[in-house]
Amino acid sequence: MASRSLSPTPDYRGRLAPSPTGYLHLGHARTFWTAFERARAAGGTLAMRIEDLDPDRSRAEYAEAAIEDLHWLGIDWQEGPGSSRPGSPGQGSLKPNQNGPFAPYEQSQRRAVYLDAWRKLLRGGFLFPCRCSRKDLEAALAAPHESSAPGAHGARSDLPPHPGGEELPPLDDEPVYPGTCRSASLQQLEESGHAFASSPPLPRDGTPVDGAPANGTEEPGSSNWRFRVPDGEAIEFVDENLGAQRFVAGVDFGDFVVWRRDGVPSYQLACVADDAAMKITEVVRGEDLLKSTARQILLYRALGLEVPRWFHCRLVLDAQGRRLAKRCDALSLRALRQRGVTPRQIISGELPEGV
């Protein structure tokens, strides 16, 4: 399907959202260039947001490198670190609380935003605490099941074929949560040694929590918190690039984590909270996040927020037909620059032979 072109829309707001866990690669370059072009075509605003939630893998030097590499490509933005906003500290600069009306633009500095969203979901009855470890989930999923229907473990095979006919592994995939803690009462979980800070009584049917404190003091505590998906409901949306998409809750994906036991909000929650707070009207990202879009639409609905438009870019594959990863140093923008590859060659895909 051909992507939909944009007419001038001054209220268009897009974003670039690199994770500083490694150097940007060829796939990032193509996706971020698409985001830049669509914002420019609409005559809108493009913001830079550094998604540095992972405290163990995020590095300031990778964030600085991303800003430098994107400027080298010819990409410009109006808000956030390294923006062209008048009075900004300049290209390649990464400073907190800067350059735009929605600062700070680093997720590590925005915990209050995510905690507010978590509390709204909790009070609305959409969350439940989960004591399961990774080992617990692996054991539950390895047990015999009555049904082996397609999609029972979260795989989805009806995505449009990739150009060239390459067969890709399932995108944005994870096993469907088996529901171990879904119906457990808070008292049962606490008796099993799981503690929660100032948590109200939890419903089992998605109804609002009458006993939730109104003073905003609830804290996630040392637990994983999952969003209870509406089993059997089809989540449908039209992607501006890939066309109509459909995922079934409880089949293609299950109850998903929105807050981790180590005190870090999940990508799903942080992404929705930030895109809404920053008034993003279109999300441009890779097709490996299509299933995340279905999850995030549920979060938008639960929080009473307007859902943005979506544009998912085809993935760039390596010579073996595999998706690129940040560990693919040979195809990082840094390495390509050092080998004399130009921005034009990267954007057009006309790389020199042997690259």
Tell me how many domains the chain contains. 1
Give mean pLDDT, residues 105-125: 96
pLDDT band at 354 (very low <50, low <70, confident <90, very high): low
Kindly list the strands in the beta sheet with 256-259, ordered across the sheet, starting from the edge strand earlier in the chain. 127-130, 224-227, 256-259
Which of 97-106, 143-152, 184-193, 258-267 shows the lowest per-residue confidence on average (mean pLDDT)? 143-152
Assigned token pair, 316: 């760039």
pLDDT of residue 30: 93
Residue 235 resides in a domain: no
Q: What is the pLDDT of residues 274-292, one digit of tens each?
A: 999 999 999 999 999 999 9
Please report, for the domain that includes residue 102, its CATH number.
Answer: 3.40.50.620
Residue 17 resides in a domain: yes
Work out the mean pLDDT of the chain and round it to a whole number. Answer: 81
Residue identified by tokens 């500083």 is 20
pLDDT of residue 304: 98
Which of 17-21, 22-26, 201-205, 335-339 shows the lowest per-residue confidence on average (mean pLDDT)? 201-205
| Contact between 312 and 293 (Cβ < 8 Å) | yes
Give the orientation angle of helix 267-277 with respect to helix 290-303, to 10 degrees. Answer: 60
| Contact between 41 and 351 (Cβ < 8 Å) | no
DSSP assignment, residue 42? H
pLDDT of residue 350: 79
pLDDT of residue 238: 98
pLDDT of residue 200: 45
Residue 321 resides in a domain: yes
Residue 285 resides in a domain: yes
d(CA 313, CA 27) in angstroms, rounded, equals 9
Assigned token pair, 52: 């540095």
d(CA 29, CA 13) in angstroms, rounded, equals 19
Give mean pLDDT, residues 233-262: 97
Residue 355 resides in a domain: no
pLDDT of residue 165: 41
Which of 140-144, 172-176, 350-354 shows the lowest per-residue confidence on average (mean pLDDT)? 140-144
Q: What is the pLDDT of residues 287-319, one digit of tens each?
A: 999 999 999 999 999 999 999 999 999 987 665
| Region of residue 82 (phi > 0: left; psi between -120 and 50: alpha; otherwise: beta) | left
Residue 64 resides in a domain: yes
Residue 137 resides in a domain: no
Residue 48 resides in a domain: yes
Q: What angle do CA 297, 302, 306 make, to 5 degrees?
A: 55
pLDDT of residue 174: 75
pLDDT of residue 352: 73
Q: What is the pLDDT of residues 129-166, one digit of tens each?
A: 998 877 777 666 666 544 333 333 343 434 444 444 44
Range of the domain at 332: 13-109+267-348
pLDDT of residue 132: 87
Separation in Å, CA 210 to CA 46, 120, 207, 249: 41, 13, 9, 26
pLDDT band at 206 (very low <50, low <70, confident <90, very high): very low
Give the residue, 204 or 341, on which the prediction is more confident. 341
Which of 35-49, 92-106, 143-157, 309-323 shows the lowest per-residue confidence on average (mean pLDDT)? 143-157
